[in-house]
Amino acid sequence: MTSPVSGSDGAAGAGGGSRAFERLAEPVRRWIWRKGWTELRDIQERAIAVLMDGEADAILSAATAGGKTEAAFLPLLSSVIDRPGAGGFDLVYVGPLRALINDQFARLEDLCAETGLKVHPWHGDIAAGVKAKARRNPSGVLLITPESLEALFVLRGREVPTLFASTRAIVVDELHALLDSPRGVHMRSLLTRVEIAVGRRIRRIGLSATLGDMGLARAYLRPEHPESVELIQSRAEGQELRVQLRGYRAGGPNRPVVEPEEARDRGEGTPAPADLAARRAIGEHLFSKLRGSRNLVFAGSRQNVELYADLLRQLCEDRALPNEFFPHHASLSRDHRSFVEERLKAGRLPTTAICTSTLELGIDIGDIACVGQIGAPWSVASLRQRLGRSGRRAGQPAVLRMYATEAALDSGSHVADRLRLGLARAIAMIELLVEGWCEPPRAEALHLSTLTHQVLSVVAERGGASARRLYATLCDRGPFRRVDPPLFLRLLRRLGDPEVALLEQAPDGTLLLGREGERLVEHYSFYAVFHTLEEYRVVAQGKPLGTLPVSDVLVAGMTIVFSGRRWRIVTIHDRDKVIDVEPDKGGRPPPFGGDGGLVHDEVVRRMREVLAGSDQPIYLDAHAADLLGEARREFFRLGLRDRSIVDVGSGVMLLATWSGTTGNGALALALLQQGFRVANFQGLVEVSSQGETGADLRGALSEIAGGQGLLLSGEDGTLISEKFHHYLDNELLLADAVSSRLDTSELPAMVAELLGE
DNA sequence: GACCTGCTGCGGGCTG
């Protein structure tokens, strides 16, 4: 048979194409031929060269649907066909989504039909009988989620060495989405535990989108030898990017008539008419530009998804057109979500999904004409991932339409509104995106919640384990490398405390599951390491206001925005999950309050540059340009070009740190400890003295600059944000928070700079 | 001013 990739038309591209193809096993080549592929992609060519030789770990990095899966499996399957294994799964694929596993199953089954190898999908939706069959007769390719692999360790720990006895590679999909998250650390711990169970190293292949710092990704894949991880990045040409950023003034020049029905329905928690006007204008623009093609619009929250989907559907109906705009988020039924996904994938009908991050990752949904983004997202990495869904066909530009809404101003407007921080962030992110920057993976945290989970899991797997063995498995060889022996011992003592009862110790020192530990491990909810958000009830003077998910550090004294109003937290009752608040005086509720995602230092630093600068970005429409002009005049008026501490009147001071969320949050907490009232914005901390005796702000800042800033006791707030945190004591919780969510290390230097020292 | 992800074993009732 003639190789389809070595034809005389030169389709094989630059050098070696046919050589790579010829190296693949015969059934694999036949499959490629049958598929009618005219060439292998660049990343596939190079992956074949690397993966057919040697045993090196590798990261294959390319945009979504860049052919990464085939790049990994064509050579890996070839090597299994050439040298069959002696029993057990030959190859393992770990994927973070069930939908992804179903998708890969269909593709690999087709490929493996030619080869005689079996493919076993394994996740929560797969029938128990199918899994039992795979367990009794393991071979070929296993496709599994991290949670199902965890369940395998807990329930069938003794079968693990047999099941993976001849596994020659583990492929980890969507590596960029896991990294230093609890789930990523969990997955890495499982990889090590498989290796320990079979008593040898197993090759690791990571599939990833392009990251800001691929070096860190290598360290995540193989912490003990990052330098040995081969990096295979797609050389595909950077595609053309077309961007427009449109500005909207809530209640400004675009103000339409408020519809009577919407006005009637307006109550607590729904937007004010001014926001409604801007939303309607954005909706009409989306309608005019997106109708008739395939698009994704990221709306930022489930509520916004519903609002915009409803608006766009209405616009279709008004014009007697069939609807082509559909909402997509996690609270919608699976049926509805698959309907939208299938319709996008099939591509026969024009379709726009208005979505949350549900459609950021996952299965291939085909060629997208345009990506809409309402408001700036939290990270440039996420923006890049979303944009990766657009314009993938050769020669097609990627199109990004961003929409920023800013408040209408009056004499009482808050300085955060006047500085147009949302617009500034959108501009900062677009510029960083164009420059090719994106957030590096965050420095490794302690992950004490996930470590607690893995301690219980290893004890369950082996029916008991010594402290030494646990440390060797999880911290020496596993991913919890920042945990030193004294800290690990402190954690074990806490877990073994009779009141906690996760562990108990046999007379010979072996650690066994305690009463509570058994209860946890026996329930299926144990297998997932990530937290499903708990809601705290918010109560104002005995009257319930609603519920609030607590996902970040909340502390008594902080100002939050809730139910459209501004409150100060009086006390937090962790056990009863109640937050007592009282109304907070002064100003209007700021648009940026409370908690949210982590915005990186570099993004906030760039926001300052945008506000301090004078260039007019060409991708702004007239309204956005106007808004930017206003923001720059305000920046200048406040003297923020030269000053970092500004008196804005009424005893309120503005500290311009221009630091990201973790640094800004640490300063806010430190000042709170010194008796100030604090509100936290992007790059800014607003401070006022409370009580009659006005505390000395500069004096307090000098103390913080001297390193005496944080005396966190944990008594006055909640540091509980992850699934197993509530078993830990304050000391452990603080260590964990400081390692991940509160950047205290930079605090003295940051404050010294504020003071101009 | 977020968003997202995952899950076993067993018994009872029903169908073919």
The answer to whether the C-beta of A682 is closer than 7 A to strand B is yes
Q: How many of the other CB atoms lie within 10 Å of CB of A352?
A: 28
Q: How far apart are CA A596 and CA A425, in angstroms?
A: 14
Residues paired with residue A677 on neighbouring β-strands, in sequence order: A688
Asked if residue A562 has pLDDT above 60, the reply is no
pLDDT at res. A550? 52
pLDDT at A348: 93
Mean pLDDT of A276-295: 94
CATH fold match for the domains A36-233 and A241-408: yes
φ, ψ of residue A369 to 5 degrees: the values are -75, -40
pLDDT digits (tens, 9 = 90+) for A374-433: 999 999 988 988 988 776 666 678 899 999 999 888 877 888 889 999 999 999 999 999
Q: Answer for the pair A397, A369: CB distance below 8 angstroms, yes or no.
A: no
Question: Residue at minimal CA–C1' distance from B8?
Answer: A524
A578-618 pLDDT, tens digit per residue, is 778 787 753 332 222 234 578 999 999 999 999 999 999 99
Q: Is the pLDDT of residue A6 over 60?
A: no
Q: Which residues of chain A between 583 and 602 are close to nucleic strand B, CB under 7 A?
A: 591-598
Given CATH 3.40.50.2300, say whether it is the number of domain A241-408: no
Nucleotide of closest approach to A122 (CA, C1'): B7
- Nucleotide with minimal C1' distance from the CA of A357 is B3
Structure tokens at A687: 């401070």
Is the C-beta atom of A531 closer than 7 angstroms to strand B?
yes
Torsion angles phi and psi, residue A138, rounded to 5: -75, 135
For residue A126 the two structure tokens come to: 């797969």
Pair of tokens at residue A501: 């009862």
Is residue A449 within 8 Å of A723, Cβ to Cβ? Answer: yes
- Indicate the SS3 state at residue A246: strand
Whether residue A474 is predicted with pLDDT greater than 70 in this model: the reply is yes
pLDDT digits (tens, 9 = 90+) for A349-377: 999 999 988 888 877 788 889 999 999 99
- Residue A559 burial (CB count, 10 A): 22
Q: How many CB atoms lie within 10 A of CB A53?
A: 11
Distance A106 CA to B14 C1' (A): 31
Question: In the 482-511 stretch of chain A, whose C-beta falls under 7 Å of nucleic acid strand B?
Answer: none
DSSP three-state, residue A10? coil
User: What is the rounded CA–CA span in Å between residue A76 and residue A119?
Assistant: 14
Which chain A residues 391-450 have CB under 7 A to strand B? 421-422, 425
Q: Are A705 and A757 in contact (CB under 8 A)?
A: yes
Which positions on strand B lie below 7 Å from a protein C-beta? 1-10
Q: What is the pLDDT of residue A693?
A: 47
Q: What is the mean pLDDT of residues A181-205?
A: 96
Overall CATH class of domain A448-527: mainly alpha
Range name among A182-196, A238-252, A259-273, A681-695 with the lowest pLDDT average: A259-273
Amino acid of residue A1:
M
Q: Which one, of A606, A298, A624, A300, lies nearest residue A431 by Cα?
A: A606
Is A156's CB less than 7 Å from nucleic acid strand B?
yes
Domain chopping of chain A, boundaries: 36-233, 241-408, 448-527, 535-754
Q: Residue A273 pLDDT more than 80?
A: no
Task: Note the pLDDT of residue A721.
Answer: 82
Q: How many CB atoms lie within 10 A of CB A416?
A: 22
Residue with tokens 């003639």: A2
Q: Which of residues 297-336 of A touch strand B (CB under 7 A)?
A: 300-303, 329-331
User: What confidence tens digit (pLDDT) does each residue in A524-533 have?
Assistant: 999 999 887 6
Say how many C-beta atoms besides its own lie within 10 A of residue A253's C-beta.
Answer: 12
Nucleotide nearest A421, from its CA to each C1': B1
Percentage of chain A beyond pLDDT 70 is: 84
| Mean pLDDT, range A558-573, rounded to an integer | 62
Please say if the pLDDT value at position A692 is more than 90. no
pLDDT recorded at residue A496: 97
Q: Average the pLDDT over A262-287 and give the result.
A: 67
How many Å does it take to go from CA A462 to C1' B14? Answer: 40
Q: Which nucleotide is nearest to A597 (CA to C1')?
A: B2
- Could you give phi then psi for residue A291, rounded to 5 degrees? -60, 135
Q: Which nucleotide is nearest to A358 (CA to C1')?
A: B4
What's the confidence (pLDDT) of residue A8?
A: 37
Cβ contact A530 with chain B strand, < 7 A: yes
CA of A36 to C1' of B2 (A): 44
Question: Nearest nucleotide to A590 by CA–C1' distance?
Answer: B1
pLDDT bin (cut points 50, 70, 90) of residue A671 is confident
A252: tokens are 């400004």
Lowest mean pLDDT among A55-69, A288-302, A634-648: A55-69
Alpha-carbon span A717 to A719, nearest angstrom: 7
Residue of A307, A167, A272 lying closest to A588 (CA atoms): A272
- DSSP alpha helices (H): ranges in A64-213? 68-82, 98-113, 128-136, 146-156, 160-163, 175-178, 182-198
Instruction: Specify the fold of A36-233.
Output: Rossmann fold (3.40.50)
Using the CA of A525, give the nucleotide whose C1' is nearest.
Answer: B7
Please give the structure tokens belonging to residue A598. 């982590």
